[in-house]
Structure 1
Amino acid sequence: MRFSSPVGRERGRAVALQRRPGQLVVVGFVGAIVVGTLLLLLPVSASGEPASFMQAVFTATSAVCVTGLIVTDTPVFWSGFGQAVILVLIQIGGLGVMTVASLLGVLVTRRLDLSSRLVAAASTRTVSLGDVRRTLVRVVVIALIVEAAVALVLTVRFVVAYGESPGRALWDGVFHAVSAYNNAGFALFSTSLIDFVADPWICVPIAVATIVGGLGLPVLLEVLRNRRRPGRWSVHTKITLLMTGLLLVGGTAFFLVTEWDNAATTGTLSTADRVLASFTQAANARTAGFNSVDTGAMHTETWLGTIILMFIGAGTGGTGGGIKVTTFAVLAVVIWSELRGDPDADAFDRRISAATQRQALSVALLAVAIVVLPSLWMTALSPFQVDEILFEVTSAFTTTGLSTGITAQLAWYHQVVLCVLMFIGRLGPITLGTALVLRARRRLYRRPESAPLIG
C-alpha cells in the first residue's frame, strides 16, 4: 500500500496543472460563460421579455471573449442589471486573457531548459518565475488606471457637450472605457459611436484605450520601465510597437481613400472629420469593434481591408484578438529574407529562431483554415453573400465585434458557430502558442535532408 503526504499530493496537483495549462484556461472561461448566461437569463436582466437561451449564451460568450458581436440591441434589450452583468463579464474576460497570457509565459519559461530560459527572458522581457503575484497586481493596476482616465474624459464630455446627468454620464463613461480597454466593442448607444463620428473627445480616448489594451502587458511594462531608453527594448516590444504604428497609419489612409466619396459613411464629412473617422475605424478594426460609421454601408473593398486588419489583430498578451502583429511580422520577415536570399530571418539585429518561424506559420495557417471552412459552410446554408459571411466569421474568430448587420438574422445554428469561433479566437492563439512551446522536444538525431520542389 502506498501512502502520500499532503505536501506530496499538493505537489502532484501542481505538476498536473503545469502539464495541462490549456485545460485549466478553458475550464475557467467556460465557467465564466455559464455563470454569465445564467445571470442574463434572469428576468431582471432584460428590459422587457426575458432573454432566450440563445440570446443569453451568445451575449455572455461575446462579453467574456471580449468580442462585441450582438444579437440584441444592448441599450434597449438589456436592463441596467443586464448591462452591469455584461460589463463585469467584459472585465473578467479582458483581465483574464492578459493574466492567462502572462502566467502562461511564466509557465513556458519554467518548462524550458536553462539556456532556453535565458534566451526567452532576454527576447521577451517576460516576468520572472517569482513574479506571479506581482504580475496579477500589474494587470489590474494598469487596467484600472487606463480605464479610470478614459472614463473621466468621457464622463466630462457627456455632461458638458450632450447634457447627460452626472450619474448617467458616469455610467456611460465607465462602461465604454472598460469596453474599449478590453477591446470588447460593446456600446450603450444603438448606433455605437456613429453619433460621435466628428467628436474627438469621444472617439480619440476610446481609440487610445483600445490601442493600449491591445499592446499586451509585456510591452506596456517594458515601455514604462525603459521609456527613456528605447534602445533597450526587446525585439518583441519593437516589433509590436512598429507594427501597431504601421497598421494604424496604413489603416487610416486606407479607410480615408476607399470611403472618401461614400455619402453613407464619410463622404459628407469635412476633411478633418474624415481623418478622425478613418483613424477611429483603423484603431477599432484591431480588434475593438466600435464603429463611428455604418459598417454595413461601407464599400466592398473596405470590407476586405477591414477583414485583413481584423485577421492580423493586436499584440500578444493584450486584450485584442487576431493572429497577432508579431506573428504577421515574423512571416513578413521570413518572406523578405527568402526573397533576398538571406540564410537567416533577422529583425532589429537579432536572428529569429527556426522554432518561432514554424510556430508563426502554424498559427497563421490554422487561423486561415478556421476562418475559411465555417465561411464556406455558412455561405452554402444562408441567404447572405460570401463577403458578408466572411466578414462576420472573421470578426468572430478575431474577437473584433464589427458586423455588417447580419448577426441577429443568422439561424441559431450559425450563431452557435460564431460562439465557438469567438471562444476559439479568444483562447486559441494563447493555448496553441503555449502548447507549441511546451511540446518542443530535443532529438538526438536528424534525418537526411530533402528538398521538394516549391512553386
Structure 2
Amino acid sequence: MISTGFAGAVLIGCALLSLPVATESGERADLIDALFTSTSAVCVTGLITVDTGTYWSTFGEIVILVLIQAGGLGIMTLATLLAVLVSRRLGLRARLLAQVETKSLTLRDVRRVVRNIVLFSLGTEAVIAVILTAVLLVGHDRPWGSAAYEGVFHAISAFNNAGFSPHSDSLMSYVSDPWVCLPIACAVILGGLGFPVIFELRRSWRRPRGWSVLTRITLAMTLVLLAVGTLTLTAAEYTNPRTLGPLETSNKWLAGFFASVMARTAGFNSIDTSAQGPESLLATDILMFIGGGSAGTAGGIKITTFGLLAYVIWAEMRGEPGVRVGRRRVPSANQRQALAVALTGIAAVVVSTFILLGLSTYSLDQVMFEATSAFATVGLSTGITDDLPTGGQVVLIVLMFIGRIGPLTVASALALRDRVRRYELPEERTIVG
C-alpha cells in the first residue's frame, strides 16, 4: 500500500509537470524530465535534470512544492488525516497504515499522532518562512512578493529535506549570510530528527534518564555527525580556491557547518559541490549514506541504524552477551533489522554505481556520489545528473524511490507474511573473519 501510494503520487506529479502550463516556454516537458522531477520531489531528494527556477513556470514550481509536502508528510499520513476529517472515524486498517508510515509504536492515539505531525510540520515551515522573508526584505532588498515566495519555497524544501531551490546556484549566493543559512539548517535538522524524537523531547526534555533508545541514539549520533562532518569538510576544503579558500575564517566555518548539515539528506549547497576535492566528496558520501533520524523527512539508512550497529560492534568487542543502550537492552530482532538495512543500502549503491559507470564516462568519485545522493534522497550533485544518458537517469529514479520508502519496505511488500518456524535445528558455530 505504501509503495503504491508513493508510486501514484509520482505518476500524478509527472502528469501535472507534463502539461504545457508547467514550463516557462509553454511547451510540454520531456517525459523523462517530468518523471525525474516528480520522483525527486515526492521522494524529497532534490536531484534535477533541468533548472528549477528557469525551466518550470510558477505553476510547475507550486506542483513541485505540493509534491515535496506530500512526500515529506507521507502519502499514508495525508490519507489518514483526510479520512479523519471526512468521517471522524478511523478504522483498524487505516490505523495500521498510519502506524507504518509514522513509525508509531502502538495503535493508540494514531489520530493524535498524525494531527501533531501535520501541525508541527506546517508550524515549523511557517516560522522559517517568516524569518527568511524578513531577512530577504531587510537584508537583501527583495520585493515583498519575491521575498515571500522564496521564503516559503525554501522553508518547505528545507524542513522536508528536499533541497529544491528556485535559484540556479542553490544557496551559493548566501554562503556568507548566517541569517539565511542558519534558519534553513535548523529546519533541516528539525525535519531530520524524526517526529517520535521531537514529540518525546517535548514531553520529557527535562528527564534525559527516561529517554527511549531511539531518542538517545538519534540525539547522540546527530551531535557527533554534525561535529565530525563540520571539522572534516572545513579542513578538507579550507584552502581550496574554488570552495572555501576565498572566504573569511568565520564564513569558512559557517559554510563547513552548512555543508555538514546538508549532507544529512537536505541537498542545498552554499559552495560548488563539483569543485570539492576527493576527500570531502568521500566524507560527504558517508554522511549522505547514514542520513537522518527515523520517521523524519531525511533519508539514508538512518542514524538509528548506524548508531545501533556501532553499539553492536562495541558490545562484541567487549564480549558482552547483549547490546545495551543506557538502561535498556536492544532485542536481537532490532540488530538484525539494522544489519539488513545497512547491507541492503550498500548493495543498492554498489550495484547502481557499477551500472552508471558502464552507461557514462564519468569518474568513480562522481558516479558514486550521484548514486549515494539518489539512494539517500539527498539531492547534492557534482553536476552530472542532466548529462547522464536516459538509462542512467532511470537508474537514479529507481534509487530515489527505493531510498524513500526503504529497502525493508520493498522487501516486506513482496513477502506475503512472516514465516513461523515451529522447530529449531541444532546449533553450530562457524569461523567469522
Residue 405 of structure 1 is matched in structure 2 by 383
Q: Contact conserved, 2:159 with 2:191, CA < 8 A, in 1?
A: yes
1:351 is paired with a residue whose SS is: strand
Q: Which runs of 5+ in 1 are unaligned?
A: 1-23, 112-123
For each residue in 1:398-451, what CA deviation from the matched residue of structure 2 results, as whole angstroms up to 9, or x when unmatched? 000000000000001110110010000000246259779995565443221111
TM-score by length of structure 1 reads 0.88
> Distance between the aligned counterparts of 1:157 and 1:56, measured in 2?
33
Aligned to 2:96: 107
Give 4+ residue runs of structure 1 displaced > 6 Å after superposition: 102-106, 108-111, 433-438
Alignment deviations for residues 238-271 of structure 1 (CA, whole Å, 9 cap, x no partner)? 1111111111111101111101111111111111
Q: Which of the numbers 349, 360, 364 marks the counterpart of 1:386?
A: 364
- Give the whole-Å Cα distance in 1 for the aligned partners of 2:332 and 2:282: 31
**Among 149, 171, 180, which residue is 1:193 paired with?**
171
1:277-335 superposed Cα distances (whole Å, 9 cap, x missing partner): 01101111011000110000000111000000000000110100000001001111111
Offset at 1:227?
2.0
C-alpha change, 1:104 and 1:145, in structure 2 (3 Å) is farther
AA aligned opposite 1:244: T
Which amino acid in 1 is paired with 2:327? D
Q: How does 1:271-350 map to 2 (within 5 A)?
A: 271-350=249-328
Q: Distance in 2 between matches of 1:245 and 1:299?
A: 25
Per the alignment, residue 55 of structure 2 pairs with 77
What residue number does 1:209 align with? 187
Of 208, 211, 214 in structure 2, the residue corresponding to residue 236 of structure 1 is 214
Q: CA deviation at 1:99?
A: 3.4
In 2, distance between residues paired with 1:126 and 1:239? Answer: 17
Task: Give the superposed CA RMSD.
Answer: 2.5
Letter in 1 for 2:230: T
Q: Which residue of 1 aligns with 2:332?
A: 354
Aligned pairs for 1:99-248 (under 5 A) are 99=77, 107=96, 126=104, 128-248=106-226
What do residues 117-146 of structure 1 show as CA deviations (whole Å, max 9, x unaligned)?
A: xxxxxxx99454231221221111000111
The separation in 1 between residues aligned to 2:375 and 2:350, in whole angstroms, is 11
Report the TM-score, using the length of structure 2 for normalisation: 0.92
Give the whole-Å Cα distance in 1 for the aligned partners of 2:346 and 2:408. Answer: 16
Structure 2 residue aligned with 1:5: none
Query: How far is the alpha carbon of 1:351 from its aligned partner?
Result: 1.6
**Any conservation in 1 of the 2:99–2:106 contact (CA below 8 Å)?**
no
| Cα distance, 1:334–1:419 mapped onto 2, change above 3 Å | same
Q: Report deviation, 1:64.
A: 0.4
Q: Which whole-Å CA distance do the structure 2 matches of 1:34 and 1:143 have between them?
A: 24
Distance 1:195 1:240 in 2: 32
1:258 paired with 2:230, answer no
Alpha-carbon distance between aligned partners in 2 of 1:346 and 1:168, rounded to the nearest angstrom: 52
- Structure 1 residues 364-414: Cα deviation after superposition (integer angstroms, max 9, x where no partner): 111111110111121022111111110001100100000000000000111
Question: Sequence identity of aligned pairs in percent?
Answer: 51
> In the alignment, is the contact (CA less than 8 A) between 1:287 and 1:322 conserved in 2?
yes
- Corresponding residue SS for 2:295: coil
